[in-house]
């Protein structure tokens, strides 16, 4: 039994949160997007929240956790969807949001503490003509450390792929939970050891990432009578090297009905594309829209239009808006490798599985990745839907599990398990999330 009074005394002046309701709130993420995870994780909570402001404080916390064998779960802003930052066995919630300094930005590279908000980093990078290569739809509050530990891609992935692609993360500093905790810096390919590892194998304290040249961007809404025409438009736009884009998001009807704030721009019965395009690419965009018989219903270059933040209707925000209207909806995460797979699923499932696509680069090619909305009836039926996709060549990254191996690539990368054995020999970090460790 851990005596938290002694632990709190040993933590000294490091900021702590002990109020039960606040601890409960900081023990959660958006796991409730999944009815399966809702049932499994609803009652999980930490025992104490600790908010370090420096690397030295993180080291001190690590020593205390090792000394008392306290489970520790690392948290950014808690915008993940799979229970990445939900503690299964209580313990300390390590809230990293107070470690939010931007160390420097120069020559297209940024060095920051893990708790920096991505929106703040983006704003500072913009001042020097740079921007983040990719951001989640939650970027206004999401932290960079949380994105690297629990995310994978986002707006900008149409150009730069995913976080795991070589070159997207340069350096990461982590604190270990060895008998004598220490700081390690991972460089280049070594960063794969902690990339999308749910904080199971090191406390990320500092990150160095490359940036992208900043453009003047505009958001557009394009509507189509035919969904597959919208999909083909999205593929050709994604493949058009001369059109500078950051977001290509396609939504089959009736998904547009869930975007209440966008109702004036979404005619009934039509599928839509949400796009972020560089201002200097508007002319070729118009030509492409015409070629695919689409209609631009929102054009910010029309001065009568009020600015929209279309990012906040894409990626996992699509699921968020839809569930606000129909809480029985859940979602899938799918890699479609060609448009034929998309069309087959569209025709087979109809409105039971409403297709939402985000185009991104995988292995140098633009592919339609699905974040389909699913009308949930039972876990059995959900698994049948997943199996049908997989039997027909699509890859599902299951968002209905908190187990690292089951969620994405169906296995833990060997280097991640090897690294965990070194940096977390007592198995204190985010317990229960890595099956290979438990076995």
Nearest to 164 by CA among 432, 397, 429: 397
| pLDDT, position 405 | 82
Burial class (CB in 10 A: 0-12, 13-18, 19+), 1: exposed
The beta-strand segments (E) located in 146-280 are 171-175, 183-187, 203-213, 217-224, 245-251, 271-278
Cβ-contact 208, 170 below 8 angstroms: yes
| pLDDT, position 348 | 98
| pLDDT, position 438 | 75
Cβ-contact 181, 57 below 8 angstroms: no
Taking CA 176 as the corner, what is the angle to CA 174 and CA 179, rounded to the nearest 5 degrees? 165
pLDDT digits 0-9 by tens, 24-67? 999 999 999 999 999 999 999 999 999 999 999 999 999 999 99
pLDDT digits 0-9 by tens, 326-355? 999 999 999 999 999 999 999 999 999 999
Domains parsed from the chain with CATH numbers: 217-396 (3.40.462.40)
Report residues of the chain scoring pLDDT below 50. none
Q: Quick one: tokens of 131?
A: 């921007």
| pLDDT, position 409 | 60
Q: In 188-209, which positions are buried (b, 16+ CB within 10 angstroms) versus exposed (e)?
A: eebbbbbbbbbbbbbbbbbbbb
Helix (H) or strand (E) holding 347: helix 339-349
């Amino acid at each position: 039994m851990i005596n938290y009074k002694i632990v709190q005394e040993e933590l000294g002046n490091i900021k702590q949160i002990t109020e039960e309701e606040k601890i409960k709130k900081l023990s959660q993420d958006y796991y409730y997007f999944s009815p399966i995870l809702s049932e499994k994780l609803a009652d999980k909570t930490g025992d104490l929240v600790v908010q370090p402001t420096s690397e030295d404080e993180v080291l001190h916390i690590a020593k205390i956790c090792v000394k008392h064998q306290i489970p520790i779960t690392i948290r950014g802003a808690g915008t993940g969807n799979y229970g990445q930052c939900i503690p299964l066995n209580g313990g300390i919630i390590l809230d990293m949001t107070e470690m939010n300094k931007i160390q420097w930005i120069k020559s297209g590279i940024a060095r920051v503490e893990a708790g920096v908000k991505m929106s703040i980093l983006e704003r500072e990078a913009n001042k020097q003509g740079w921007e983040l290569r990719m951001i989640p739809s939650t970027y206004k509050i999401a932290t960079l450390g949380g994105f690297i530990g629990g995310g994978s891609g986002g707006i900008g992935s149409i150009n730069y792929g995913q976080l795991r692609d070589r070159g997207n993360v340069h350096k990461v500093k982590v604190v270990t939970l060895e008998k004598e905790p220490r700081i390690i810096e991972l460089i280049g390919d070594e960063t794969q050891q902690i990339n999308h590892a749910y904080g199971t194998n090191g406390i990320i304290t500092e990150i160095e990432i490359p940036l992208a040249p900043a453009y003047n961007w505009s958001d557009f809404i394009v509507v189509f009578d035919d969904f597959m025409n919208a999909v083909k438009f999205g593929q050709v736009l994604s493949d058009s090297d001369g059109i500078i884009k950051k977001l290509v998001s396609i939504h089959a009807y009736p998904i547009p009905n869930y975007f209440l704030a966008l109702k004036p721009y979404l005619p009934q019965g039509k599928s839509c594309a949400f796009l972020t395009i560089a201002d200097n690419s508007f002319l070729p965009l118009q030509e492409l829209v015409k070629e695919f018989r689409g209609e631009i219903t929102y054009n910010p270059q029309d001065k009568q239009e009020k600015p929209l933040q279309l990012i906040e209707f894409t990626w996992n925000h699509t699921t968020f808006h839809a569930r606000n209207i129909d809480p029985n909806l859940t979602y899938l995460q799918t890699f479609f490798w060609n448009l034929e797979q998309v069309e087959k699923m569209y025709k087979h499932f109809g409105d039971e599985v409403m297709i939402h696509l985000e185009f991104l680069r995988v292995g140098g090619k633009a592919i339609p990745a699905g974040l389909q909305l699913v009308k949930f009836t039972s876990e059995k039926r959900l698994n049948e839907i997943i199996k049908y996709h997989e039997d027909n060549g699509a890859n599902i990254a299951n968002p209905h599990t908190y187990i690292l191996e089951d969620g994405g690539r169906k296995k833990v990368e060997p280097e991640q398990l090897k690294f965990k054995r070194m940096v977390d020999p007592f198995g204190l970090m985010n317990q229960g999330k890595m099956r290979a460790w438990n076995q």
